[in-house]
């Protein structure tokens, strides 16, 4: 039974290395045609419409501190 199930999955679905290769090829394709999704992939921002003013730390990486960016309240 287990071998039949494995054979069915291998026949009808892409798995492991083949699936990874397909995903990478799709990403390379959207990057090469310079569509919106491809540009977001290149810049390293969220691709599926999430907000980036706050959040999106996983895609953007660690916070980059900006020198001299203090609000008016803190200075006064």
pLDDT for 19-68, tens place per residue?
A: 999 999 999 999 999 999 999 999 999 999 999 988 888 888 888 888 87
pLDDT for 31-45, tens place per residue?
A: 999 999 999 999 999
Is the pTM above the cut of 0.75? Answer: no
Q: How far apart are CA 60 and CA 51, in angstroms?
A: 12
Q: What is the DSSP letter of 49?
A: S
């Amino acid at each position: 039974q287990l071998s039949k199930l494995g054979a069915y999955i291998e026949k009808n679905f892409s798995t492991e290395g083949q699936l990874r290769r397909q995903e990478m090829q799709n990403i390379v394709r959207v990057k090469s045609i310079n569509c919106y999704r491809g540009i977001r992939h290149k810049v390293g921002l969220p691709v599926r419409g999430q907000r980036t003013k706050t959040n999106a730390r996983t895609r953007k990486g660690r916070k980059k501190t900006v020198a001299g960016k203090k609000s008016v309240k803190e200075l006064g």
